[in-house]
Amino acid sequence: MDIDWRSFTPRSAAIGGVLIGLAAALLVLFNGRIAGVSGVLGGLLRPRDGDVGWRGAFVFGLVAAPLAYALFARLPRPQIDASWGALVLAGLLVGIGTRYGAGCTSGHGVCGISRLSLRSVAATGLFMAAGFATVYVIRHLLD
C-alpha cells in the first residue's frame, strides 16, 4: 500500500487542534457548556427557552467557517470512497452511537478527556476501537 505523504499535514492539523481546543474552552468559560456537537445539535431539535441562540450560532459556525476559509484559500476536493447508501447508514449508526454513548467524539474526546473524565476516556477509546475495527473489516475482509 502506497502512502501519499502530501496528505500528512502536521502544521495545519496542530493549528486546527489548537483552534478546536480554544473554542471548546471558551464555550465552557463563557457559557458553561460542553462543545459536544451531537448535544448542541440535539438541543436545537428539542429547544428550550433561551437555549436556541448559542446553539444556532455554534452550528452556523460549523458550517460557515469552512465556507469562509474557502474564500481565501483553495480547499482540497474531498475524495469519498463510499456510496451514498453507505454514507447514510454510517451517519445513522453514528447518530445511534452518540445516543447510547451519551455524547460524541467532540464532547467526550475533546472536552471530556481534557476534564480528565474517566467515562470520556473509556467512551473515546471505544469510539476509536469501533472505527478501527470497522475500517479493517470493510477495507480488508469485505473488499
Q: What would the DSSP string read from start to end of the chain?
A: ----GGG--HHHHHHHHHHHHHHHHHHHHHH-----HHHHHHHHHS--TT-HHHHHHHHHHHHHHHHHHHHHSPPPPP---S-HHHHHHHHHHHHHHHHHTTS-IIIIIIIIHHTT-HHHHHHHHHHHHHHHHHHHIIIII--
pLDDT at 1 over 70: no
* Mean pLDDT of the chain, nearest integer: 86
Residue 139 to residue 137: CA distance in whole angstroms: 6
How confident is residue 143, by pLDDT bands cut at 50, 70 and 90?
low
How confident is residue 74, by pLDDT bands cut at 50, 70 and 90?
confident
How confident is residue 118, by pLDDT bands cut at 50, 70 and 90?
very high
Cα–Cα distances (Å) from 136 to 34, 65, 94, 128, 129, in that order, read 32, 32, 17, 12, 11
Contact 24, 30 (CB under 8 A): no
**Number of domains the chain is built from:** 1
Handedness of CA 7, 10, 12, 17 (dihedral sign): positive
Q: What is the pTM of this model?
A: 0.73
Give per-residue pLDDT as tens, 12-66. 889 988 998 898 899 889 988 888 888 888 888 888 888 888 899 999 998 998 8
For residues 111-133, give the mean pLDDT.
89
Contact 101, 123 (CB under 8 A): yes
Contact 121, 32 (CB under 8 A): no
| Residue-range definition of the domain harbouring residue 42 | 5-141
pLDDT at 127 over 90: no
Question: Per the structure block, which three cell numbers stand in for 105?
Answer: 467524539
